[in-house]
């Protein structure tokens, strides 16, 4: 087990390094054949627990290995969040819920990247590969595509990128809707007047916490 832990090479401490840890832990478990059927089933659903006592003992033994690896690669504060869970799937889901936050702004940024792609060196296959890669990243956020919301954000970005990214950093873009985002800009105009240029740092900090 020590050799497996050493392959992870990172201890998750929170949102700042969760994405890297998540990637490392998944591929370490895949390499050790402890991912599919133990951590997750097809399409990343929860594994079906065996019904017979014999098979259940075997499955619990397999489950204990990746669970121990996860527990050993998180710091003490993070470990408190998963200590009440008994399966690897539950522990992974809890950590994802806590630290893998996505927002519509991330989707907008990916869509801007998608629709500004250009053919380079007449390499159609490289372009197609880049399109597939960006679409995979968009789908992996699991953010529902609210077209009016995304269109509004895209039009605001990059002029108001400082303000929008501050909202995201404070967690205020995770569950925001088109109407609530419009309301934030109404509040912004009331506080500072209508702007034709990006806001100052002080205004960004003040408004992103409202």
Find the helix or strand (DSSP H, E) in which 39 lies: none
**C-beta of residue 94 within 8 angstroms of C-beta of residue 33:** no
Domain count, the chain: 2
- Distance CA(179)–CA(190), nearest Å, equals 17
Domain extent at residue 14: 2-99
Does 153 lie in the same domain as 118? yes
> Three-state SS for 74?
strand
3-state SS, 94-147, equals HHHHHHCCCCHHHHHHHHHHHHCCCCCCCCHHHHHHHHHHHHHHHHHHCCCCCH
**CB within 8 A of 15, min separation 6: which ones?**
99, 101
Instruction: Find, among 146, 139, 205, 123, the residue nearest to 170 by Cα.
Output: 205
- Write out the chain's pLDDT in tens, 210 residues: 444 444 567 888 887 788 888 888 988 888 888 888 888 876 667 888 888 888 889 888 889 999 999 998 998 889 989 999 989 999 998 888 788 766 677 787 788 888 888 888 889 999 999 899 888 888 877 777 777 877 887 788 778 888 877 777 666 766 678 888 888 888 888 887 665 444 444 454 444 455
Model pTM above 0.95:
no
Residue 207: what pLDDT? Answer: 46
Note if the bond before 158 is cis, omega within 30 degrees.
yes
Last residue of a domain, which of 84, 99, 114? Answer: 99
Does 93 lie in the same domain as 108? no
Residue 169: what pLDDT? Answer: 67
Does 123 lie in the same domain as 40? no
Last residue of a domain, which of 99, 121, 152? Answer: 99
Query: Which residues sit opposite 40 in a β-bridge?
Result: 36
Does 116 lie in the same domain as 20? no
């Amino acid at each position: 087990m020590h050799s497996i832990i050493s392959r992870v090479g990172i201890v998750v401490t929170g949102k700042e390094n969760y994405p890297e840890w998540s990637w490392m832990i998944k591929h370490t478990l895949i390499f050790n054949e402890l991912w599919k059927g133990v951590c997750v089933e097809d399409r990343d659903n929860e594994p079906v627990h065996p019904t017979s006592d014999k098979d259940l003992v075997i499955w619990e033994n397999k489950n204990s290995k990746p669970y121990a690896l996860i527990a050993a690669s998180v710091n003490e504060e993070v470990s408190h969040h998963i200590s009440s869970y008994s399966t690897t799937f539950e522990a992974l889901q809890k950590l994802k819920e806590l630290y893998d936050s996505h927002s519509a702004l991330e989707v907008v940024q990916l869509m801007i990247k998608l629709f500004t792609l250009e053919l380079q060196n007449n390499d159609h296959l490289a372009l197609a590969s880049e399109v597939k890669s960006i679409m995979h990243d968009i789908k992996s956020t699991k953010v529902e595509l609210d077209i009016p919301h995304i269109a509004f954000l895209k039009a605001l970005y990059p002029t108001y990128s400082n303000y929008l990214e501050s909202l995201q950093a404070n967690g205020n873009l995770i569950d925001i809707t088109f109407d609530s985002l419009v309301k934030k800009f109404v509040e912004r105009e009331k506080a500072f007047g209508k702007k034709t240029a990006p806001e100052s740092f002080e205004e960004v900090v003040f408004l992103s916490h409202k």
